[in-house]
Amino acid sequence: MTQPAVQRTDANRTGPNRIDTTRPHPARVYDWFLGGKDNYPVDEELGRQITSIDTGALRAARANRRFMQRATRRLAREAGIRQFLDIGTGIPTEPNLHQIAQSVAPDARVVYVDNDPIVLAHAEALLRGTPEGVTEYLQADARDPRSILEQARHILDFDRPIALSLIALLHFVADEDGAYELVEALVDTLAPGSCLVLSAMTADFEPENVQRGIAAYAAGGVTLVARSQAEMGGFFEGLEVMEPGIVSVADWHPELSATGERLDGDGPVSLYGAVGLKP
């Protein structure tokens, strides 16, 4: 395969990749939720506001991260997937997706994508994979799937199965900004046997909490969209949704955690998760 046109260097702090510390950023607020250190006072302030009014937000963020880990482990171990395209990667928090995949299959190839310069600035931590495998980072916007595919094709073999993960990403993309179209464009290019791993926010379980959280994000300049179970189903058109279906991320195979125990407490959290197989 030819060398990829991949950005792997530190963020350019004066160009379009400048890190704006005056406004909260979703990746950094999420990092604060996960107990990370790569956030600024504006992010912590919004994180604290959200958790004070949406009491489930913290638990949801942690349960979501563990959903990613369980789904990745299952696809590597049971479905034999060796290629992963993870869009909306976030700031590295161990274990990251490549660490899970490469612990099962050291030769796994992983491509990370995010559009936030802070994630680019931390990309080196994402690129420390196994020598047998490949781990790369692309700075790109999910709303431009063509550009992602163009670059990812240099790294992944699209004639073989790929696990495409969009974890806690699509609530940042409104329907009118092409949320469904971008998923369709990406899934269309995948070979049979590929999988879509998706999680996104819902107001189905705790509507008042979630609406308050959405309002707090909006006041911080971040627009979020909550989707119903039926709306989530729209992302899986043409795919076979694996059991147990579209469920709270906390309820998606909790027994597949590293310890085999349910780690996310009882009851649903406000993110749906599901895995679909391309027949």
Ligand X SMILES: C[S@@+](CC[C@H](N)C(=O)[O-])C[C@H]1O[C@@H](n2cnc3c(N)ncnc32)[C@H](O)[C@@H]1O
Q: Which residues bind ligand X (CB under 6 A)?
A: 26-27, 30, 64-65, 68, 88-90, 114-116, 119, 141-143, 167-169, 172-173
Do 68 and 249 form a contact (C-beta atoms < 8 A)?
A: no
Cβ of residue 18: shortest distance to ligand X, in angstroms?
A: 15
CB of 211 to ligand X, least distance (A): 18
Measured between alpha carbons, how far is 103 from 92 in angstroms, rounded to an integer?
17
> Which of 215-231 are b and which e, b meaning 16 or more Cβ less than 10 Å from the residue's Cβ?
ebbeebebebbbbeeeb
Q: How near is the Cβ of 166 to ligand X at its closest, in Å?
A: 8
In the bound state with ligand X, the residue whose beta carbon lies nearer, of 108 and 148, is: 148
Rounded-to-integer distance, Cα 30 and Cα 47, Å: 8
CB-closest chain residue to ligand X? 90
Nearer to ligand X (CB atom), residue 45 or residue 144: 144
Whole-number minimum distance, CB 91 to ligand X, in Å? 7
Minimum CB distance to ligand X smaller for 114 or for 251: 114
Encoding tokens for residue 173?
A: 């993309």
Return the number of the residue (160 or 254) whose C-beta is nearest ligand X: 254
Q: Which residues contact 251 (CB under 8 A, 6 or more apart)?
A: 244, 268
Please measure the distance between the N-terminal and C-terminal CA atoms of the chain and give it in whole angstroms. 27
